[in-house]
Every structure is written in structure tokens, then in C-alpha cells.
Amino acid sequence: MAFNVDQFRTAMANDGARPNLFEVVLAFPQFVSLGSKASSQARFFCKTAFLPGSTIGAVTVPYFGREVKVAGNRTFQDWSITIINEEDFTIRNAFEQWHRGINGNVTNLRSPGAITTSPKAPGTSYAVDAEVYQYAKLGGQPIKKYKFVGMFPNDLGQIDLDWGSNDTVEEFTVTLSYQYWTTEDTQSANPSA
């Protein structure tokens, strides 16, 4: 097939998905007192994220001198986001409260609010769900949604300070672990509603 730019342009009818058209919807556990405010701010101040991937491992089974590969289990890599830091430190403080609830800085103990003791809701209450939406350039409608199930922060990144950093805004990275993700098309969903 000869090169034909018009065929390519026709095939790319919507000009491609854009990596800057996204929104992160974070939730914080109930024991995080700043959680509600931090959740609403995160929609605006989550600067970077990524749509998740996953890996299905291969199990190698030796057979008569050959290696036969069969599908193994799925694993999910941690999810990282970058947050723009406001002067009120709301999101940063909320993540610090979340971290302290999971494991105290001084005590090395978990907060009582971070564990569910009800037989109707067993498990941890420090793990919550989050979502990331990809939006269309035309019309601004959500076109893809990923939901992270059972998520909690495992690494709260540093904030760099520097007398020579003029005309910049502080940022920090949070790395979150989760159990698994689900996805769906979101032609009719509207997360901002």
C-alpha cells in the first residue's frame, strides 16, 4: 500500500485521544478529617496520572525438553499521581492523615478508624475506591473510565524546596496500591454532575 496521508486523516476521524483531557476522582477514608475537602480539590489539582495497565504472567511448564507457556495470574502495577500543592496543604495533609491512620509515625500502630470491625463489613476501612476519566476533545464528554478498587497510598513523595525555584508551584507525587481495576466505556456517564 502506498503512503496516503488522506487515508490516515480519514481513519483518525476524531484527531486521537488527548492525554491532557482527564479527571481524577479521589476518595479518602472516613477517618481522614480533611477527606471531603481534599476529594473536591483533587479534581482540580491532580496534574498527572495514567490509565492503568496490567500484566498476565506466563507459567513455564517443561515437557520433553521443551518449554510450554501457559497463562498465569494477572498483576496490577501501582498507580502514581502528581498533585499541585495549594498553600492550605489540604490534599497533602489529607494524605498524611491517611498514612498516619494506616501506620502511626511515632507509635507504629494502626488507627482504630482504619479497621472495620463490623461483621457486615469485614476488612479494612483504610482502602477506598478511586476513578480516572478520559474525556473527548469534541464535546468534552467522558469516553473512558477506570475504577481502582481497594486503593491506599503506599508512598507519599517529598516536596522539593529551593531558593532558586522562582515562578513555580510545589508538587508532590503519591503512589497508591490497589487490589484491581475495572473499566467501561462512559459515553453516557458524567462524573462532574
Read off the pLDDT of residues 25-64 as tens digits, 9 standing for 90 and up. 999 999 999 999 999 999 999 999 999 998 999 999 999 9
What is residue 44's predicted lDDT score, i.e. its pLDDT?
95
Q: Is the dihedral of CA 102, 107, 113, 116 positive or negative?
A: positive
What is residue 114's predicted lDDT score, i.e. its pLDDT?
82
**Closest alpha carbon to 152 in 183, 189, 115:** 115
Predicted confidence (pLDDT) per residue in 16-34, tens digit: 888 899 999 999 999 999 9
Angle CA 69–70–75, to nearest 5: 110
Dist. CA 15–CA 172, nearest whole Å: 32
Kindly report the CATH class assigned to 14-51+68-185.
mainly beta
Sketch the domain layout of the chain as residue ranges. Answer: 14-51+68-185
Helix, strand, coil % over all residues of the chain, rounded to 5: 20, 35, 45
Dist. CA 5–CA 98, nearest whole Å: 52
- Per-residue pLDDT band at 119 (split at 50, 70, 90): low
In three-state secondary structure terms, 187 is coil
- DSSP-assigned beta bridge partners for residue 130: 148
CB 176, CB 79: distance < 8 Å: yes
